[in-house]
Amino acid sequence: MNVLVINAGSSSLKYQLLNVDTGEVFAKGNAERIGIDGSFIGHQEKGGDKEKLVVELPDHKTAIKHIFEIIDGLGVQVDGIGHRVVQGGWYFPSSAVVDDVALAQVREVAPLAPLHNYAEADVVQICRELYPELGNVIVPDTAFHYDMPERAWRYALPRDVVDRLHIRKYGAHGTSHRFIWRAVNKFSEGKVHKLVSCHLGSGASLCAIEDGHSMDTTMGLTPLDGLIMGTRTGTLDPATVFYLQRVGGYTVDEVDTMMNKQSGLAALSAISSDSRDIEEAAEKGDANAELALDMFAYRCAQLVLEMAQAMEGFDTMAFSAGIGENSDDMRARICEKLGWMGVKIDAQKNAIRSDEIRDISAEDSKIRVLVVPTNEELMIAMDVQELLS
């Protein structure tokens, strides 16, 4: 089955056309600066060179039309469309075939992820209108965490407030964590039972997965909670928000922007939100860059143990996403901080670059340590195949 996977943002749209059974990627790309001057589509076919197509993209509908024109030129039949949806809210414990009710529910929960859900719902509707013969499936990032134990998802707020406003820990990156579990379970031949999954990228979260079930995760009501990220604060005293407003004179929107787009590694390093730039600066002796890396590793190690407590122990941990897959330095830093409890990695294994899942544990490590290239697009496509077949 050939599935077109779409990941829509407020001004961007990523896509990938792949075959679920073989894993072959026919094409992938991204439409950028939608509704903004200087819009373009970056397109790549079958692992070839990426080409930049300068086109006017006044809205998502125009972007989708362009993308389907490009795909039509490949001569590959599209059998279904899968849509990444950031927030499934209180409606979606799993992926779902799109109908009018499901689409309305995606819009209803959009206040929990306003920069994403509205655009995603619009794109789903556009695909239904333009290509009514194709089935659409929504795959919420939050679905994997839907059935976490109540002790993990409930906040200690008044029950009437929580129930009326649907406030709880929803988490994120669920599609990635679900893929990581499946990959690790297959790699270990079913011998993994308690996995701490570390999705470390510009957005980052950890997840405690026991026998395939999410027991806890580090992101909360929104993706701002948990680990320090590229531009997000991660966990801090919630009263900081009040202090910034009352004493600093910042508005609610200014605090929101500060904590989501002006903080994290970018603020700590005063260099960049990209860990590669920060690592390069740290190697040259930049103290702020070194502090940013040390704080990221320190906080990640703390959260590994929080996730382990959710399962009362763990036998495996897996690094994934941009930082987790590519930064041997950060993996070493985190594991070194966990060395007191028996986590050890082999330096030579850790230095190897590969697109395959691999074991970097030292022989005497008490915890198995893996590097797992994530593949959210394949996970979404698999859900499409399962639901539309």
Annotated binding site: 7, 14, 84, 199-203, 274-276, 322-326, 376
- Distance separating alpha carbons of residues 322 and 315, to the nearest angstrom: 23
**Which DSSP state fits 94?**
S
How many Cα atoms occupy the beta-carbon half-sphere of 54 within 13 Å? 2
- Asked if 4 contacts 64 with a C-beta cutoff of 8 angstroms, the reply is no
Just list the catalytic residues: 141
Interatomic CA distance for residues 186 and 192, integer angstroms: 9
Pairing of strands 80-85, 2-8: parallel
| Contact (CB, 8 A) for 108 and 165 | no
Which residues are part of a known binding site for Mg(2+)?
A: 7, 376
Q: Specify which residues 368 forms β-bridges with.
A: 316
Nearest C-alpha neighbor of 331 from the set 342, 345, 341, 321: 345
Q: Residue ranges for the binding site for substrate? A: 84
**DSSP per-residue codes, 210-258:** ETTEEEEES--SSTTSSS--SS---S--THHHHHHHHTT---HHHHHHH
Q: Give the number of other CB atoms < 10 A from CB of residue 342.
A: 11
Pairing status of strand 194-200 against strand 96-97: unpaired
The CA distances from residue 309 to 180, 194, 219, in Å, are 20, 11, 16
Element (H, E) at 2: strand 2-8
- In angstroms, the CA 375 to CA 186 distance is 15
Neighbouring residues of 118: CB distance < 8 A, sequence distance ≥ 6: 10, 107, 110
Residues of each annotated binding site for ATP = 14, 199-203, 274-276, 322-326
Residue 352's alpha-carbon distances to 4, 229, 326, 349, 365, in angstroms, are 32, 25, 9, 6, 18
